[in-house]
A = this chain, B = another copy of it.
């Protein structure tokens, strides 16, 4: 999973075999995000999920909170591909 850092965001695109798989991935990410008390800006269209991470409380900059969540998401993603 490749993360780009630009415009004060960490961003990545994920593709899955179908919508159901994409949503199961989102469910795992959702639970981890809530646990970390740090949530993604993300969008989904059928089998794709686009994720953007930034820290609102730090003035919309990339912080360690984003890097930690990105790492978690990368680990989850490897299970689905």
Q: Give chain A's interface residues, CB within 8 Å of chain B.
A: 19-21, 23-28, 30-35, 39-46, 79-80
- Once the chains bind, are A42 and B41 in contact (CB under 8 Å)? no
Cα-based distance from A79 to B80 in the complex (angstroms): 7
Q: Which of A23, A24, A25 gathers the greatest number of chain B CB atoms within 10 Å?
A: A24
Q: Is the CB of B28 within 8 A of A31?
A: no
Structural contact, B19 and A33, CB atoms closer than 8 A? yes
Q: Which residue of B lies closest to A19 (CB)?
A: B39
Listed A/B pairs (11) with beta-carbon separation below 8 Å: A19-B30, A19-B34, A23-B27, A24-B25, A24-B27, A24-B28, A27-B27, A31-B31, A35-B35, A41-B45, A79-B80
Cα A28 to Cα B26 with chains together (Å): 11
